[in-house]
Amino acid sequence: MPRLDKSIEALLESYNSRGLVNPAGEVNLPSKRSIEKILRELTELLLPGFGEMEALDHDKLALITAERVNRAARSLEQEVEKSVAFGLRLEGKGGESFRGCHAGAEILVGSFFSELPAIRLLLEKDIQAAFGGDPAAKSIEEVILSYPGLEAIMVHRLAHFFWVLEVPLIPRMMSEIVHNKTGIDIHPGAKIGESFFIDHGTGVVIGETSIIGKNVKIYQGVTLGALSVKKETAGKQRHPSIEDDVTIYAGATILGGDTVIGRGSVIGGNVWIIESVAPGSKVYVEQTKTIK
């Protein structure tokens, strides 16, 4: 339409002058739509039958699993190959380096699927922690089907694998897909021990260098953040460490790479912590006056 010609020209000028375009001829980027589909397929491998429209035929489980593994692996190899190539481009490499991307992607994806049974074991412990830690949970099935915290943890455990292997883009894409869905923001770099439970979950933020031990339970609105957001602190621990058997109630903010919450501590709601807490401590805001 002629009346839009000026808008089109302005956009094209913006593309030329400002960039932010992923042009043909460059190394392509992973597809968000493909990563979302891969996550759905991986969920079915970790928790078969729970996302089905109909009950899963147990007699066909071996065949269905083989088909899913091969389909997900093919899709994942394509996205990992693009991610590895993008990483090389960022390093200023090309030519012969790109030729090894496909083989490298096959090795990475093979390692990932070898790790899936161990990830599934961790997920089982997370499910048990949710069921045992929430009086409102009536069954394991209810936890699997309706707890956003479990979904966020599951995707984190998948994304963390690729983060550790320094695969560009894909781990952050995975974490942001589930963040958008659940309201729970866990950076794929965070190290999280077994039997982790996020109750309710909305507004939880767990930063990149956070370290969380075993049997930790946190509620909605909890932030494990950094005291500084300067670029030069990248690569250093900027986020707190939470030791085993800690409970952190809603709205608590815990900041700083030197901050350690000792084992067995209970952190009350809406507290602000920038110093370490000794094991077995209870930290809370003392209410001096109530107005009715």
Spatial distance between the Cα atoms of 187 and 212, rounded to a whole number of angstroms: 13
With vertex at residue 195, the alpha carbon angle to CA 137 and CA 131, rounded to the nearest 5 degrees, is 10
Q: What is the pLDDT of residues 274-288, one digit of tens each?
A: 999 999 999 998 877
How much is the pLDDT for 48?
92
Superfamily of domain 203-292: Hexapeptide repeat proteins (2.160.10.10)
Distances (CA, A) of 133 to 15, 204, 216: 52, 18, 10
Name the architecture of domain 28-184: Orthogonal Bundle (1.10)
Q: What is the mean pLDDT of the chain?
A: 92
Q: What is the pLDDT of residues 184-213, one digit of tens each?
A: 999 999 999 999 999 999 999 999 999 999
Cβ neighbours, 10 Å, residue 33: 8
Question: Residue with structure tokens 């039958």?
Answer: 49
The average pLDDT across 38-61 equals: 87
Q: Is the pLDDT of residue 139 over 70?
A: yes
Query: Considering all CA atoms of the chain, what is the largest pairwise distance in Å, rounded to the nearest integer?
Result: 73
How much is the pLDDT for 90?
82
The average pLDDT across 98-110 equals: 88
Specify the domain boundaries for CATH 2.160.10.10 within the chain. 203-292
The number of C-alpha atoms within 13 Å of 121 and in the hemisphere containing its C-beta is 5
Specify the domain boundaries for CATH 1.10.3130.10 within the chain. 28-184
Contact criterion met (CB below 8 Å) for 281 and 274: no
Distances (CA, A) of 225 to 146, 161, 185: 27, 22, 11
How much is the pLDDT for 98?
65
- 157: pLDDT confidence band, cut at 50, 70 and 90? very high
Q: How many residues in total does the chain contain?
A: 292
The DSSP call for residue 289 is: -
Q: What is the pLDDT of residues 224-275, one digit of tens each?
A: 999 987 777 777 899 999 999 999 999 999 999 999 999 999 999 999 999 9
How much is the pLDDT for 229?
77
The average pLDDT across 8-34 equals: 86
Name, in order, each residue with C-beta under 8 angstroms of 238's C-beta and a sequence gap of 6 or more. Answer: 207, 208, 209, 226, 227, 228, 256, 257
How much is the pLDDT for 26?
64
